Amino acid sequence: VNEKKNVEIPSDSRSESSDGLPSDVEEQFEDAGVESMDEFSDDSSSAVEKSTSNMKFDFDELSDSEDEQLADEFDEDDDVDLDDMDIEEASKRLDKRKLEDENLAEEELQTNIAERESGKEDGIEEDSDLALINNRIQENVRILNNFKDLGDGRSRSEYVAQMLKDIAAYYGYNDFLVEKLFNLFPVSEAIEFFEANEVPRPIVIRTNTLKTRRRDLGQALINRGVNLEPVGKWSKVGLQVFESPVPIGATPEYLAGHYMLQAASSFLPVVSLAPKENERILDMAAAPGGKTTYIAALQKNTGCLFANDANAERCKALVANIHRLGIRNSIVCNYDGREFPGVLGNFDRVLLDAPCSGTGVISKDQSVKLNKSEEDFAMLSHLQKELILAAIDSVDANSKTGGYMVYSTCSVTVEENEAVVDYALRKRPNVKLVSTGLDFGKEGFASFRGKNFHPSLNLTRRYYPHTHNMDGFFVAKFKKLANKSFKIEPTEKKVAEEVKKVEAKGSKNKNEVGFNDAADAKLIEAIRNKNEKKTGKRGVVAK
């Protein structure tokens, strides 16, 4: 059997024996010493296996394509040369490879299933954790609202600290900002504020009265399938859009300049400014043009409107909206607002919608929750203070119809609103706060967490998303009383007060201290000369 035997058996000449083999094959077995196939018992088969072990076949050197070719050869050719091929070893390797492939496939399947199950479990845990946090927030609100009766021994500060931590985790704020916003409201109202920031504000459009009327615009949009209604009694040009089968920013009416997509809160500073026809007005931070075009519409394209913005890229959108809405009385300029009135001054009215942190529009920009720090608020507050002084100085107090300046932000923090207005009142005593002319909104803070502001700050107005269903906003209106603020020098003021006291009291006896005109004449003249050098005018002193 071990010897190589090339046996060629014609297919048409084979005949089977009683063992089921062709006769010539049976003869060959007999020549090899095998009388019958029955002799291949279990014992004899081991000898055959041993004898075939000398046949070698190197499968490691074959590629996949060569394996396939070999398989095809086994199928197509019955006459296989077994000199260099170990059939048993090849079979074992094939079985082993097949088993490995099956194991890999099973492992991959199990891994995918495990990942899906793991992801599902993680999601459930996360949901259950958030639900637990939310329940704890609601329970802490209930306790803090009635702390005297429901407190369980822990201090109020411990409850507040736990609540701030939970709010930060549940709504996704950083620790600094969540505390700053939480302190603005009572406990229950604070949760309402955070919840409102998770819901987008309604879409509002402003009718461009230079081209159409609100009734006609509303009817045209309703004919296109838009569901809308007036934004409120406080505005005669606003429409609130509930749903639209067409993009509200791509209708023929929009492209024709019949309306402007504009948040309801940004109507407020323009309504407060109350521009008149033929006035000279400055919008100090105008881009993208919603307030500017509203001012021009109220002016009926008369007078002169200067639309300034410090960002040249944003000025492109400003120019585009001015052209689309048919504004013809505006001049677009690109200056830092702090350069006014050096660039241009003596305006009848000035609107300053100052750059701010955006804490009133979190529903539009969720990144505010994490990217605002204490340094950001300090920097913005400093910039706002510089801008508000420049805006006040740009107003002409002698204007026959105006002399007003409106300051607004889309922020709800005290540092950017009441603190800035109070700073302006201290630095510019020639201005005062007046009513905003808005018949709704909450009063500004006259005091906040131990810090007292000017009492007239109750004339300012605050707007919140959870109470007014609009972006958080702040509006303050100033009236300029004089173009220059005259200040009395401390020494002069002190001397004048002493003179008044002595003159009112009179000299009752010779030991009482009083003024000697001859002795004080030189001092009074020196003060008068000093004041003349500084102001170019005769100083004001008591005689």
Q: Which tokens sit at 541?
A: 């002193």
Residue showing tokens 């000299």:
507
Q: How far apart are CA 329 and CA 275, in angstroms?
A: 13
Residue pLDDT tens, the chain, 543 long: 344 444 444 444 444 444 455 555 455 545 555 454 444 444 444 444 444 444 444 444 444 544 554 444 444 444 444 445 567 777 878 888 888 888 887 777 666 555 544 444 443 334 448 889 999 999 999 999 888 888 777 888 999 999 999 999 999 999 999 999 999 999 999 999 999 999 999 999 999 999 999 999 999 999 999 999 999 899 999 999 999 999 999 999 999 999 999 999 999 999 999 999 999 999 999 999 999 999 999 999 999 999 999 999 999 999 999 999 999 999 999 999 999 999 999 999 999 999 999 999 999 999 999 999 999 999 999 999 999 999 999 999 999 998 999 999 999 999 999 999 999 999 999 999 999 999 999 999 999 999 999 999 999 999 999 999 999 999 999 999 998 764 544 445 555 566 566 556 554 444 444 555 666 676 777 777 776 665 554 444 443
State the CB neighbour count (10 A cutoff) for residue 32: 11
Residue among 419, 396, 87 at smallest CA distance from 407? 419
Residue among 322, 462, 296, 310 at smallest CA distance from 390? 310
Q: Which tokens sit at 512?
A: 């009482």
3-state secondary structure of 230: strand
3-state secondary structure of 218: helix
Q: Which residues contact 291 (CB under 8 A, 6 or more apart)?
A: 266, 269, 270, 283, 351, 353
Q: How far apart are CA 516 and CA 507, in angstroms?
A: 11
3-state secondary structure of 463: strand
**What single string gives the DSSP state of each residue in 411-437?**
---GGGTHHHHHHHHHH-TTEEEE--S
CB 500 within 8 A of CB 459: no
How far, CA to CA in Å, does 117 sit from each of 43, 105, 106, 128, 129?
54, 18, 16, 16, 18
Beta bridge partners of 351: 283, 406
Q: Which residues contact 155 (CB under 8 A, 6 or more apart)?
A: none
Residues with a known catalytic role? 410
pTM score of the predicted model: 0.68
Residue showing tokens 């939310």:
134
Q: How far apart are CA 170 and CA 532, in angstroms?
A: 65
Q: How far apart are CA 407 and CA 54, in angstroms?
A: 99
| 3-state DSSP percent of the chain in helix, strand and coil, to 5 | 50, 10, 40
Q: Which tokens sit at 492?
A: 């002069």
CB 478 within 8 A of CB 408: no
Q: Which tokens sit at 519?
A: 């002795």
How far, CA to CA in Å, does 277 sit from each of 201, 293, 348?
33, 14, 11
Q: Which tokens sit at 74?
A: 């086994």
Q: How far apart are CA 102 and CA 81, in angstroms?
A: 31
Rg of the chain over Cα atoms, rounded to whole angstroms, equals: 45
Q: Which tokens sit at 160?
A: 């507040």
